Amino acid sequence: MVRHSSRIELSQSALKTNFKFIRSKIGEKPIISSVVKANAFGHGIDPFVSMAEDCGINHFAVASSYEAWEVMQARKRPESKVMIMGILYESDLEWVIENGVEFFVYDFRRLEQARNVAKKLGKKAVIHLEVETGGNRTGLSEKELTPSLRFLKNNSDFLEFEGFCTHFAGIESLANQFRVQRQLKQFNELYSRVKKFGYEPNLRHTACSAAALAFPETVMDLVRVGTAQFGLWPSPDIYNLHLMESKKVKDAPLKRILTWKTDIMHLKDIKKDEFVGYGTSYQAPRDMRIAVIPIGYSNGYPRSLSNKGQVLVRGKKAPVVGLINMNVFMVDVSHIMDVELTDDVILIGREKHNSISIKSFSEFTNAINNELVSRLPSAVPRKRVR
Ligand SMILES: *Cc1c(COP(=O)(O)O)cnc(C)c1O
């Protein structure tokens, strides 16, 4: 097997801890739909899906029909359900319905299309009505609601009314509370209209990670959890709400499941006053030992970490010197004893007493946690570890 220049390890025990913590917040009853869009937030749909299945998860949510197909390949259990929350092309409806993949419907025409395909296949389409509550992304408008309910009811041989749902516009930030509370109120009002109409869905759902962890009133029959399952806090606000609620000053109930490792490709001793790499952004202040790392911005390592990032070598922090290039960057290892070409290099993760967090990247790059991980190239091999 030809080797890739880096590798990602995913911790099963950390994942189990995270689901347990999420359960402790939402209670026993709600279904956890594991959101695995964007290649499981860069963690790798394969093996992440089967790791989640081994934690008892049997519902997955994605952003497109293509990603639904990826989950179908990755799942080990045929009973695991897949739900598309985003783009579903009409040309994919047949595959989706044939395979029992569930999907959000946010405009009336989609109901007619789904009915037609379901009728042709002789198989029910499984539908989640997504309603507009003020997020102004996708969502069925208020005036489409009653016609949609009527259509669902009249075509119940072909359309399963599985879910009634909405998505909050930034519930991870306390500054948005006035807006998301209005969304929740609107959702509950629309739902009472559904009840009045007399044709109810199997499930109601609104909560993402932040909502599930901090706002119990948003937790209904199912929660759609992305960020938190990977051991990442949706925001400092949500972490602080947890500390207040649990009356602690420090707590780490969520564990990062991802470790990203690479190698040293070359070691070099350089003299004081020499420049490192392209241009003149780094000039050696003393004689130094430099390690060349076979990773660059094309591998998802942000270029904005030039002269700022850190990696771990032998458990010690080694600072980036010079610019991050397309496929390499350099680090200073002068202070680390006996560095060898065979040493592992930790880009994200823990070694001995030190750790490079995903959050530490965002401090320099302005990228949120999810942006960094979701851009990790899919070609990097992923491996499940204990
Ligand atoms: C991405 C997404 C989620 C999951 O959000 P997290 O904050 O990562 O838990 C839930 N619902 C919808 C509609 C989404 O697009």
Residue 372 lies in a domain: no
Question: Which residue in 63, 29, 38 sits closest to 223, CA to CA?
Answer: 29
Based on the domain organization, do 187 and 262 belong to the same domain? Answer: no
pLDDT for position 367: 56
Residues 51 and 85 in one domain: yes
Q: Residue 159: CB within 6 Å of ligand 1?
A: no
pLDDT value, residue 364:
64
CA-proximal residue: ligand 1, atom 1 (nearest) = 226
Task: Read off the pLDDT of residues 139-192 as tens digits, 9 standing for 90 and up.
Answer: 999 999 999 999 999 999 999 999 999 999 999 999 999 999 999 999 999 999
CATH number at residue 24: 3.20.20.10
The total domain count for the chain is 2
Three-state DSSP class for 285? coil
> Is 164 found in the same domain as 74?
yes
Is the same domain home to 219 and 286?
Answer: no
Same domain, yes or no: 160 and 290:
no
Alpha-helical (H) ranges within 107-141 are 108-121
Question: Which atom of ligand 1 lies closest to the CA of 228?
Answer: 9
**Which residues contact residue 46 at a Cβ distance below 8 angstroms, ignoring those fewer than 6 apart?**
70, 73, 74, 382
CATH number at residue 333: 2.40.37.10
pLDDT in the model for residue 1: 85
Q: Are residues 106 and 223 in the same domain?
A: yes
Residues 184 and 266 grouped into a single domain? no
Dig out the tokens for 82 from the structure: 């897949």
Give me ligand 1 centre to Cα 151, in Å.
28
Assess contact for 275 and 289: CB atoms under 8 A. Answer: no
pLDDT score recorded for residue 362:
75
Last residue of a domain, which of 246, 275, 299?
A: 246
Q: Give the domain extent around 352.
A: 258-356
| Residue 91 and residue 70 in one domain | yes
**Amino acid identity of 142?**
E
Distance CA 181, CA 268 (A): 58
Domain boundary, last residue among 246, 281, 304? 246
Q: Would you give the DSSP letter of residue 27?
A: -
164 and 42 co-located in one domain: yes
Same structural domain, 238 and 263 = no
Residues of the chain with pLDDT under 50: none
Residue 131, pLDDT score: 98
Q: What is the pLDDT of residues 349-358, one digit of tens each?
A: 999 999 999 8
Supply the pLDDT for residue 286.
98
Domain closes at, from 246, 269, 300: 246
Q: Is the CB of 208 under 6 A from ligand 1?
A: yes
Q: Are residues 305 and 187 located together in one domain of the fold?
A: no
Question: Cα(108)–Cα(98) distance, rounded to whole angstroms?
Answer: 21
- In a shared domain, residues 76 and 210: yes
- Tell me what pLDDT residue 360 has: 81
